[in-house]
Amino acid sequence: MTLFKMGNAAYIKEKNKRHILQCIKEHGPIARSRISETLHLSKPTVSALVEELLHEGWVREEGNGDAGQLGGRKPIYLTFNSRAAYIFGVDIGGTKTLTAVSDLAGNILGTREFPTQDNLQYGLLKKVQKHVQELLLEQQISEDRVLGIGIGAPGTTDIVQGTVIDAPSLNWHDYPLQNEASALFPFPVFIDNDVNVAVLGEQWLGSAKNMSNVVLISIGTGIGCGIMINGQLYRGASFAAGEIGYLVTDKNEAKKHTKRAFEGYGFLDSFTGGPAIVAKMQEALGDKAIQELTAKDVFDLAKSGDQTALAVTEEVVDHIGFAIANVISIINPEAVILGGGISKSSPWYLPRIEQIVSEFAAVKTVIKTTTCGPNLGVIGAVSLVLREHESALKTF
C-alpha cells in the first residue's frame, strides 16, 4: 500500500498537520495561538501548517473573536470545514440497503434505499452505484470531492482480503465485495461487518461518544457484538471477535445437543434468533399455533400481556442478559450499547437485563441503547472511511 517511510521530516510535518486539523475539529472555533499552546507547537509552525490547511480547504477563517479583558489583538477564529470532502456510507441489511452521503462532520445530506432481497440476483452493487450517482447529482457534489465509500455487510468480513466470508442472509460466501465495489466506484472502498460499523458510528456520534472501550450488542436477525478497544475497532485474530451468538449460557442445555445442532450458528442463536423464538412460541401454543408468526409478533404479543408470549420472551431476554453479563466480565467496557431491531422495545426488557448484569457481571456497567437511530449503519460506514482512510489530508 502506502510506501513504508517512517523517519523523515515529511512524516513529522504530516503528523503535526493532522494534529492541528484534529484540534480545530474538536475544539470548535479556535485561534492559531491557542492551538500552539494546546499542542505544544511553536506559533510559526502552527501558522505555516494552518496556511496549508486553509489552502487545501480543510479549514476556514471564520471572523475575528473578541480581544481579552486585558487587551491585545483580536484572535482569528479557525473552523473545520466539514464540506471539504464528502463520504458515502452504505448499510446492506437483510431487508433493505441504505445509501447515504455525508459531510465530514457526519451530517447525512441525502439518502436512498432499496429492498435488498429483490436486487440480490440482478446486482446489488449496481443499484448502489445508481443511488450514489443520484445523490452526487442531487447534492451537487463532484466525484473528486469524495473521500471514499464505506460499506457495512451483514456477515463475517475479512477486511484484509476485502471479502465477505459468510453472509447467510445474502447468500454470500467469500464474496469479494471490496474488489467488486472498487470496479464500480472512482473512489476508495472500505468494507466491514455491520456490527463493527455500528460501534464505530455509535462511538463517533452516538451514546458511546468518545469512549475508548465500548461494546455494542446488536439483537436483530441474529445476535452480534462490535468491540472497540483503546479507541480502535477490535476484529479478532480471524475477524471473528464478538461472535456472541456462540456464547453458552446453559451448559446442561448445550450438552443435550450434538454438534450438528449448531452447525453454522451458535448456542445462543438457537435461543435468541428469530426462527428459534418463533419455534419456541409455536411449541408453547401447541395446537393453537399461529400461521406466519414472526419474532416481532411474539414480542408484541408479550407486550400486550399474552402469557404464553411472555414466558417465551422472558426466556429469550434471560439468555441475552447472561450473555451480556459474560461479555462485561471479560471485556470490562465503559458501557454496553444495545442496538438492532429489538432495541426499539428496549424500555420493556432493559430492566431485566440490567438486573441480571448487576447481579452476575464482574463490574457494574452502564447499559445504553443506540441514539443514532435508523441511520446508525450508514453513519458507521462513513466513520469507517474516515478512520481507515490514510490520507485524509492529501490535496485534491
**Which residues would be at the binding site for DNA (CB under 7 A)?**
7-10, 12-13, 16, 31-34, 40-45, 47-49, 51, 64, 66-76
CB-based contact 326:249 (threshold 8 Å): yes
Q: How far is CA 376 from CA 214, 278, 288, 302, 371, in A?
A: 16, 27, 39, 27, 8
Residue closer to a second copy, measured from CB, 136 or 223: 223
| Residue ranges in 84-103 that form contacts with a second copy under rule CB under 8 A | none
Q: Quote the least distance from Cβ 388 to a second copy, whole Å.
A: 15
Select the residue interacting with a second copy from 184, 254, 279, 285 (CB under 8 A).
Answer: 254
Residue matched to cell numbers 475477524: 239
Whole-angstrom distance, CA of residue 185 vs CA of residue 143:
9
344 binds a second copy (CB under 8 A): no
Contact with a second copy (CB under 8 A) among 48, 159, 229, 293: 229
Q: How far is the CB of 331 from DNA (least distance, A)?
A: 38
Residue 217 touching a second copy (CB under 8 A): no
At 103, list the grid cell. Answer: 459531510
* Contact partner, 108, from a second copy, DNA, none, Cβ < 5-8 Å per class: none
Task: Report the residue from 11, 95, 138, 179 that binds a second copy according to the rule CB under 8 A.
Answer: 11
d(Cα 20, Cα 14) in Å, to the nearest integer? 10
Distance CA 225, CA 323 (A): 11
Contact predicate 346/324, CB 8 Å: no
- Cα of first residue to Cα of last residue in the chain, in angstroms, is 19
Site for a second copy in 192-211 (CB under 8 A): none
As measured in angstroms, the least distance from the Cβ of 367 to a second copy is 14
Residue with cell 464540506: 83
Q: What is the DSSP letter of 57?
A: T
22 binds a second copy (CB under 8 A): no
User: In whole angstroms, what is the distance from residue 290 CA to residue 287 CA?
Assistant: 9
Partner whose footprint covers residue 241, from a second copy, DNA, none (CB < 5 to 8 Å by kind): a second copy
Comparing CA positions, the residue from 351, 350, 342, 343 lying closest to residue 296 is 342
Using rule CB under 8 A, residue 334 touches a second copy: yes
- 112 lies in the binding site for a second copy (CB under 8 A): no
CB of 168 to DNA, least distance (A): 49
Select from 239, 301, 367, 386 the one that contacts a second copy (CB under 8 A).
Answer: 239
Partner touching 260 among a second copy, DNA, none, CB below 5 to 8 Å by kind = none
- The angle at the Cα of 155, spanning 217 to 366, to the nearest 5 degrees, equals 10
CA distances for 156 relative to 45, 146, 152, 236, 239, angstroms: 45, 27, 10, 11, 7
Q: Which residues bind a second copy (CB under 8 A)?
A: 4-9, 11-12, 15-16, 19, 39-41, 45, 212-213, 225, 227, 229-230, 232, 234-252, 254-255, 259, 262, 266-267, 318-319, 322, 325-327, 329-334, 359-363
